[in-house]
Each structure stands twice: as structure tokens, then as C-alpha cells.
Structure 1
């Protein structure tokens, strides 16, 4: 059974929901608020989309966990004792993991929803998931636990190509962004780079890539028995893997449910979870990919279809109810507007000849547009009874589209060699007298450190070259892909650590060189006086892109491409700087 401490009192039931995203977090807030519960929120920004919901009664400013203990713990204890919540519900990995590690201490002041130890360890440890699946007769892709000194060629011999690399543990505090990423690699060189990037994540799993469409089977269980189930299929999946942006609710398939029931029974699972599968059609073969032992990103589709998991969880934990209506509407589609706008753009640009990429034909995309007028589609954040979160997201997406359109239009003049020369004339005139150059990108871990090191090699020693980032975190190292890509240019970025742009840097620089329109916007907004000496590097090249895009989070090829573009633009920069010497 689910572990819980005693509930609080009061005439109106009160819950605390912990999280920050616009999908599962907002879904839980709406579900419980619609049932008349007083919903309090924490560990999210005060202006988060969920806080715009009419069902979010109150926001609490609490320290956010950055580890299994810390200032967040006494602050949460104080809040729980004061408010006497009937239930505390974590909705994202940091909250689930933090509360699990402090489950005994928190039990003294609140009823906290959490998995039992075996269910937690199995769902957050992908290798443990794999072992349990094998033991219960559930098919999974072949996988290898990669050691410290892997024989990479042997991995491809055993698993084929491509291979999926992923951290063994789904989440850990202190990881860098790229250390959470699942990576698909096609050859040993890509595998070496990705394994180095994932080294800080702990142990890594190498998994055979299996074909097919992603399926999610979501359940509420108690004591190893499934009480409520919902299934969806993923229609728009990230090309390299990850959470879907467009899905469709379908009937629960008996063979998948039977597999989930065996796993749930073996873990004595109590709580909510999403079991992710891949099914190859028309053969019908399927594989379990992983278990998400928390509320999942596609929760809004389940809610819209009539499978109200948060409310059922509340009734189970607070009132001990175990009988729920398992009927729901099938055929309804759910779309995350922000994620799907990005997905559509990448899908249109992807190589359709690559069978490992989950691309969708343009004809299918056009056909999908008919779902909305037929009332067969919902947006994750949109609800007639709670329109403000959806309106806020629409405004945000519209702003992003408008920004991208303006950027594209602004790049048109640079297609003309004559106009390109005219538009960069001011920078070219200023370069011969410049003795202090500053390169600025977002994080100061990819483009600007490469430009700094490359520029030092081609510019006179009298010119001082530095780099900074606008992202407010110093001391970060360059990702593995950046290190490998830079080595092809005989540059070593291993000792570089990120530095944050400040007013002194702006004042000291004679010329500030950014890499794309977003960099220019961030610098000019934070330091208006920088505008007169702020330029983009890309237009200096006689041809090629004006904006040198951020490769952060991309593969080795993305870094190689951008670093090549930077090197190309630095050549005319060096010529302009040295023109004074020739004069």
C-alpha cells in the first residue's frame, strides 16, 4: 500500500503540488482544483503558466532542491506544519527524488505521495528496469552496461547500428544539461564523444535501437494491482528521442496491459506511472523502453479523454477508494504548442532518408490539421474553463514565431554581396584600431570560447581577446562535443571555464562580437551602452549564414559545422585588424 502520514484538518481539502512544467504540473493543478480542492503550489516560478490557472489558489516561495537535503527541507517542513495539507504531490523528477530521500522525516509533518523503495529504485534505474522486465517475461531491447573503459567497436558488433546511449539513472542532482540527454550514435567516433559527454552522469547504458512508434501506457496502481489505465500513441516524436509533442489516445492493448500488470505486481507498485513502449507495425512486436515513476508529460491528454489520474490518486491516498471508472474517450489528440512548433520546424528540415529518425511526411502534417475543427484535438495548456494558461502560451509561441520571422527577414539583405559589404562596413572600419575584442554567446561554453582561442592564433599579439556568456552561471566546462570539434582545428578547450558578462567587461571592450540575433538582443537589453560597439561575427564572411547558431545540446556534426563557420568569419576579421599594420 501507499505510505502516508496523517492528513491535515479543515473544512476544505487542501493540497500542495510541487513542480514547474506546463504539462504534468498544470494538469495536476487543474484536476484537483476542478474537484473543489484548494491547490497550493511551490518550487515553480511565480509567473509560471500553471500559476495563471484559476485553480492555483496560492504560490509559496520556497528554496528549490539542489540536492537530497538543504535549505528546502526545513522550509517545506515549516510550510506543511502551518498549512496542514491533506496531501503533498511531487510532479517532476527533482521533487520526486528529493522527497523520496527525506520520506521518513517528512512523514512527521505531512502526507506525502511517493513510491515504495523497490518501485522507486526500479523506475529511476534503467538497468534495474531492464532486469525486472527480463525476469517477468517482458521484452526489452538488448543492452549493455558500459564500463569505464568500453570497447566501443564491440558494442556495435553486439547491438548493431545505431545505438542508443542513456544515463543509467533517470535523474541525479548536479548533472549538466547534456548529461541527462539520451543520444543516438551511428558509429564508434560518435559513441566515444557521447560517452565522454555522459561521463559525469555516472554509469551509461548502451541499448540497441528498435523500430516502431512510441506508446505510453499510464496507470494508477495500489499494492501491485492496476486500478486505472490509459494508453496513447506518439505521433510527433523528437527525431533523436525524448518526450512527444503530439499524441493520440487509443484503447488499452491487452498484451501491453498484461506486461504492465506483471511489472506492477513484481514491484508492489502503488501510485501513478507511465510505461513507455515501442511497437513495430505490422509485425506487432513490441519492447518496453522505460518506466516513468511520476506524472508524465502527456497527462493533459489523459485528463481531456476522461482518465483523471490526479483525482483518482487523491481519492486513493486520502479516502482509501480503489474503484474507478476505467472508460475513457479514444481518438482524441493532444498537442503541446510550444514543443510542437519546434518539432515541425525540425521535422521539415530533417533527412527523410535516415530510417532512425522518426520523421512525418508533410501530407500527414496537413491531414492532422483537420482534427481541430472536428473537435478531435486539445492543446495541453488550453481549457475552456481555465483559458489564461493557454492564452499565455499562445502569446509566447506567437512572439517566438514573430521573432523568428523578423530574424529571417533581417537576413535577406546579406544574400547580396554588395549589401553584405555595406552592412558590415562600420565593423570593418572599427577593427583596425581595436585592441580589445570580446566574444559573447549565451553560455560561454561553445561558440565564444572557440572564437576566443581561434582568434588569438590569427590576430596580432597586441590584440587582447576574451570571451563571456550571458547565462548567469560561471565555472562550467565545455561539452564533450565542443572539445572534440575544436581539436580538429588544433585548439584545446579543456581548461576553459565559463565566465559571465558584466558591466566591466562591456566597458573594457572596444568591439563586442556576438553570434546570432538572440545574443545581440540579450547583450543590448542587459547593457544598452554596448549597442554602439556590438556586432555579429557571421556577416564578416563573404558568404554563408549571418547567424551562427548555438550547437549546445546537438551532436558532433553540429559543433563541427558551427566551428567551421566561426573560423571562416575570423579570416576576414584578421585581415581587417592587420590592415593597420600594412598601412
Structure 2
């Protein structure tokens, strides 16, 4: 649907505007004239500074108060679309889905979220449509490690099947949550897993998949693809794998067979709404391995929106207003970067390279530094936070970074 083709009839409430994801939702909707009520965790939330946030609110402090806040807001606004960003908030809101029935809820239902939060379930669906998944081992005791892992080649990668479900257990046991961890031999693997013995829960043990991050993005409704987009990750933070800090939009005729399989996967899951299907793609072999499906708006959403694939606006029109969506052709070859983590990445490569555990990682600090500098001169470059037409969130983000660093230094001096 093109800008200006219809007059938005109902407002949107966006919960979680503290990140570039929430900011991108606010901007996408606001640019098209939607009245946006933005809710941030505190006064420093970058989305609250956006010119497109018509009304700004600080999030209530606990779950009960948050639901009350949303119900009071609904009473003021009348019918409205409710967007949210994080998996934790989707889970929280789904516990109160009946109470929030006055909203048009633009996030997945609980049963759908369980299929994507649990990688074992996701991989089961993927196998049925012919998508390659990494060889994965699940154990219930240390005694099973040698037998279950005998056919895996090292290094191996350890990940939690359902990170959101395990974090609270790790915190209670005083254990740090790691998104992924590499082990290079059986002895190291057994030693690392030993720390989880008291809990009786262990991460998945997965084969290492070389390559680059490839993301394919969709808006689904009743099995129909309403919008699609894809990108390649060029840089990540941390460098061995994490959030995308530099990515580039790709044409839809690239990896077209894989795109079809991704759609088949979402149809098998009976998915409704937005989703990201994430792969590790090896350019040398041409093979792709499924990493996960994100059933929410993804970290690199600013790239999609700035390239012309405005998923929040499409979702508002199609799922909120029940109007047809006619996506414009998005711009390919556009790049977008998350500047602060990108600078942290350069610092890690230059001064703390020993913290990078990926055995295949080879980029030099000088190359990374040169890439950052060249990016400022690249006409293809856009930014997760900075936007010339909406600069205030960038300055708030810089203030937050500086203030956080100052408080950290003060804390160290007092010790």
C-alpha cells in the first residue's frame, strides 16, 4: 500500500520503543499518518524522542500495572492496534489476551510463539518441508555426552532450545546466560556442561555451521505471503554471532528456492503475522542451515523499512485495518548499520580479540576500522537509529551511551 492511499482510521500503541526495533515501528506508522502512542521503559527510551511518537508514556513497573495501563489507554483511544517488540512482552501480553480483546493484537498467539521459541519444535517443522537443520544433540545428564556426541565433529556450538524459558533458572542458580558457546573437544564440552548439573537442564549441542547470516522476512495471513524481504548480515555483535550490526538488502530472486522453502515452513506452522527465517549460508558450498525462526519484529527492521519494505505499516493495514496491501519494490543493495555496537565490534577486534571464540573468524581490526570509516562515505548506507528527518532519537541514544559510561566510571572509582 502506498503512502497516502488511505487515511489511517485507528491509532497504534507500540510497547517497547527502547530499541531500534520499536523506533522503526514508530517511524513506519507515523510516516503514514498513524497516531502513535509510544511506551518506553524509561524516559531515555529512544522511541519516545521520535517526531512520529504522537503521545509518549513510561511503562508501568509490573505486569498487573502494565495491563491496567494498557486498558486505561484503550479506554481513552477507542479501537486501536497493539504492537509489541520483545518475546518476553509477547509472552506477557498473551497471558492477558482475553483482557486485551478490545485491541487488535498484532503479535502471535501463545501456541504460535511456542513453536518458534522452542528450536526443537521449529526444526521438526523444517524437516517436513526439506529445510536442512544443523545436527543437534539433546542430553539430560553428563553421562550421556560421550555417547550422544560421538558422531559430531568439533568445534560444536551450544545453544538453549528455549532461551526465554531457561533464563530465570540460570539467574536463580547464579549462572550467566550465553546465547551461544563454542567447545573445541570432548573434554572442554564435558567441563562446560558440568556447571548445569545441579539444574538438570542442558543446552543443545549443535554442529558448527560456517557461513554468513541470511535473513528472510515475511508478513503472512491465512497462508498467503503479503510481503517479503531478505538481507545478508555483513557484521554482527559479538563478532562470532549475535545481533546484526551491518546488513545489506538482497533481491528476492536471490536464494529463490530457499525463499520458497521458508514460505512452506511458515505455512506448515500456520503462521500469522510477521516472521524472520534465519539461516547460516555458506557461499562456498551454496548450502544453508536453518538457525531459527523469529516470531516478532527483528533487529534489522530499520533496514527493511528504509529500503521500502515497511512491515509495520503493512501489518497495520492488512491485519489491523483489513485493507489490501500492495508492497512497493524495495531497494536492493542498501546497507544499514547499528553504529554503537559496530564501534564496540572494532574495539573487540583491536584489543580483545581473544574473546572471539569462533574458530573460522578471520577479519582483521584494520579491515573493520576501514569499513567503519568508509561507511560514512557510502551513499548506500543508512542507520538503525540516525535519520536526518528524525534526528532526536540519535542524540538521545548518544546521551544514554555517554551517561552510562560516566556512571560506570564513577562506580569503579568508588570501589
Give the secondary structure class of the aligned counterpart of 1:151.
Answer: helix
Q: 1:71 to 1:151 in 2, by over 3 A?
A: same
Q: Tell me what 2:20 maps to.
A: 23
Classify 1:190/1:72 alpha carbon distance in 2 versus 1 (closer, same or farther; 3 Å).
Answer: farther
In the TM superposition, 1:544-583 aligns within 5 A as: none
Between the aligned partners of 1:11 and 1:226, the Cα distance in structure 2 is: 23
Partner Cα separation in structure 1 for residue 358 and residue 163 of structure 2: 26
- Structure 1 length as normaliser, TM-score? 0.63
- Separation in 1, partners of 2:355, 2:67: 49
Name the counterpart of 2:122: 129
Match of 1:248 in 2: 248
Aligned to 1:268: 270
2:67 alignment partner in structure 1: 73
How far, CA to CA, are the matches of 2:400 and 2:363 in structure 1? 25
Residue in structure 2 matched with residue 110 of structure 1 by the alignment: 103
Q: CA deviation at 1:57?
A: 2.0
Q: Does 1:360 align with 2:363?
A: yes
Q: Distance between the aligned counterparts of 1:76 and 1:180, measured in 2?
A: 33
Q: 1:158–1:27: structure 2 CA closer, same or farther, 3 Å change rule? A: same
1:498-530 Cα distance to aligned partner (Å, 9 max, x none)? xxxxxxxxxxxxxxxxxxxx7661165xxxxxx
Quote the residue 1:33 is aligned against: 30
Structure 1 residue 42: deviation in Å? 2.1
Cα distance change on mapping 1:82 and 1:193 into 2, 3 Å:
farther
C-alpha offsets along residues 338-392 of structure 1, whole Å, 9 cap, x if unaligned? 1111111112342699763534233365256434323111111011110011233
Query: Does the aligned pair in 1 maintain the 2:60–2:66 contact within 8 Å?
Result: yes
Structure 1 Cα separation of the partners of residues 143 and 342 of structure 2: 37
Q: What is the rounded CA distance, in whole Å, between the counterparts of 1:201 and 1:25 in structure 2?
A: 36
The answer for unaligned runs of 5 or more in structure 1 is 1-9, 404-517, 525-530, 535-583
The residue number in structure 2 matching 1:521 is 410
Q: Distance in 2 between matches of 1:239 and 1:258?
A: 30
Contact 1:184 1:240 in 2 (8 A): no
1:372 is matched with 376
2:193 corresponding residue in structure 1? 195
Measured in 2, the distance between the counterparts of 1:103 and 1:297 equals 25
Check if 1:97 corresponds to 2:91.
yes
Q: Aligned equivalents of 1:205 and 1:115: distance in 2?
A: 25
**1:350·1:359 contact (CA, 8 Å) conserved in 2?**
no
Distance 1:341 1:523, change over 3 A: closer
Conserved 8 A contact 1:139-1:286: yes
The CA deviation string for residues 132-168 of structure 1, in whole angstroms up to 9 with x for no partner, is 1112211110101221445223354222212211121
The 1-side partners of 2:408 and 2:325 are apart by 55
Corresponding residue SS for 2:25:
helix
* 1:151 equivalenced with 2:149 (yes/no): no
User: Does 2:58 match 1:61?
Assistant: yes
Is 1:185–2:196 an aligned residue pair? no
Contact in 1 for aligned 2:216/2:278 (Cα 8 Å): yes
Instruction: Say if 2:193 and 2:202, in contact at 8 Å, map to a contact too.
Output: no
Query: What is the Cα deviation at residue 202 of structure 1?
Result: 5.0
Deviation at 1:92, TM superposition (A): 1.1
- C-alpha distance in 1, partners of 2:40/2:188? 37
1:436-451 equivalence runs, <5 A:
none
8 A contact 1:163–1:186 mirrored in 2: yes
1:94-493 superposed matches below 5 A: 94-107=88-101, 109-172=102-165, 174=168, 176=171, 178-179=176-177, 181-192=179-190, 194-195=192-193, 204-237=203-236, 238-252=238-252, 253-348=255-350, 349-350=352-353, 356-361=359-364, 362-363=366-367, 365-367=369-371, 369-395=373-399
CA distance 1:204–1:523, shift in 2 (3 Å): closer
**Which has the higher Rg, Structure 1 or Structure 2?**
1
TM-score with structure 2 setting the length:
0.86
Distance 2:374 2:44 in 1: 33
| Structure having greater relative contact order (Cα 8 Å, sep ≥ 6) | 2
Work out whether residues 239 and 359 of structure 1, in 8 Å CA contact, stay in contact via their aligned partners in 2. no
